[in-house]
Structure 1
Amino acid sequence: MNLSLFDQFASPVLLGIPLVFVSLAAPLLLTPTPNNRWMNNRLTTLHTWFTQTFTKQIFAPLSPAGYKWALLLTSLMMLLLGLNLLGLLPYTFTPTTQLSMNLGLAVPLWLATVLIGLRNQFTASIGHFLPEGTPTPLIPILIVIETISLFIRPLALGVRLTANLTAGHLLIQLISTATLYLTFASPMVSLLTFITLLLLTILEIAVAMIQAYVFVLLLSLYLQENT
């Protein structure tokens, strides 16, 4: 039973070939692209409006030096949103439930923001480790705490995304299994669990969208501190 629960988090394989690259490319292939027509269809218009609104909201607090990250962070948001929602479809795989992939996205981007801060404003970046007016006996402790908090940021980014999606998928599978087993034993209880399953699915769709937004939002906040 435990193995069947966690099989959904294993990378699918066909003829010995991992299909994780196909699942990574699926959201990008399904994303509508603008064309040369005067009037776009509703899907393209909605996608363009969402992209522009998201970019304005994320980069409004940033200085002009951080606008160079607009294309990267917007593309990352669309990729994470597509991958998170992809896993809610039947017989699919969610790559963002893999901690290795989430850390592979979080660590390089976090490191890039730190290096940008050290290059452009070295004094201000170092000053974060020791706030002004700190009592002398607390200086070593604060430096250690700030250093730990700095290096734990990418771990928190990856673990937050992985834990939320993994917990939601496990709950959906547990409740769906209970609904199936109770169909013949107790139809009324099975109907209640099915309604719970529908509500949980709606909640998981919201979680998938919110977690993609939070991931990019935190990266933009790290960028704001270093630009």
Structure 2
Amino acid sequence: MALNFFDQFMSPTFAGIPLMALAMLLPWTLYPTPSRRWLNNRLITLQAWFINRFTQQIFTPLNTQGHKWAVMIVSLMLFLMSMNMLGLLPYTFTPTTQLSLNMGFAVPLWLATVIIGMRNQPTASLGHLLPEGTPVPLIPILIIIETISLFIRPLALGVRLTANLTAGHLLIQLIATAVFVLLPLMPTVAILTATVLFLLTLLEVAVAMIQAYVFVLLLSLYLQENV
């Protein structure tokens, strides 16, 4: 029975057709398109305010060259947050629980920041591999350690997002199963467990939003080092 808990992380199929593309395209249909009118509805106004505040917070420490990434990074954050939140609904699938998808986001974007740094400021980018004032005997060891840490960054981005969402979904399913099992046997304990499940669901909603923000924030920090 324990293996059935992991069925929710398998890519769903219908008539032999994988539904991953549908699960990834669905979030974009939920966002209203801004119009050219001076006055919009409250939802579009709230959406614009949120995007402006997020953009200011992320791109204020960056140089002017890094501001070119604003549209892509904001779109990525909204995309990840939407998929994480929609995955909490019943009978849905969370694409961001797949490590392949998260690595598909992390590796190209991280590699783009590294290439930009090597092209625009190669001396400063290579200088991150060796801290200033390092003793001569430690120079080879530190260069190896910093190089390994540089190449671990995309793996950390993808694994962090996958692990946090997977752990939360598994915990919710385990506690929900316990509620259904305890309900006919010990109703009082089942009600208390259901209360814990509700609180855990609220926590998972916060985690879904925070993990999307952390993914984009770390990506902006990598970009800040190379612009």
Would you call these one fold, judging by a TM-score over 0.5? yes
TM range (shorter): over 0.9
RMSD: 0.7
Runs of 4+ in 1 over 3 A off after TM superposition: none
How many Å apart are 1:16 and its aligned residue? 0.5
Residue identity in the other structure for 1:210: I
Equivalences for 1:146-161 in 2 at 5 Å?
146-161=146-161
Partner of 2:78: 78
TM-score by length of 1: 0.98
TM-score by length of 2: 0.98
Partner of 1:15: 15
Distance 1:11 1:44 in 2: 33
Equivalences for 1:48-59 in 2 at 5 Å?
48-59=48-59
Distance 2:124 2:36 in 1: 47
Distance 1:43 1:128 in 2: 44
Partner of 2:105: 105
Unaligned runs of 5+ in 1: none
Residue-pair matches, total: 227
Partner of 1:5: 5
Residue identity in the other structure for 2:73: L
Partner of 1:24: 24
Distance 2:129 2:36 in 1: 51
Equivalences for 1:76-225 in 2 at 5 Å?
76-225=76-225
Q: Percent identity?
A: 69
Secondary structure of 1:185's counterpart equals coil
How many Å apart are 1:29 and its aligned residue? 1.1
How many Å apart are 1:47 and its aligned residue? 1.0
Partner of 1:66: 66
Residue identity in the other structure for 2:152: I
Deviations 1:112-164 (A, max 9, x none): 00000000000011111111211111011000000000000000000000000
Distance 2:35 2:116 in 1: 36
Residue identity in the other structure for 1:200: L
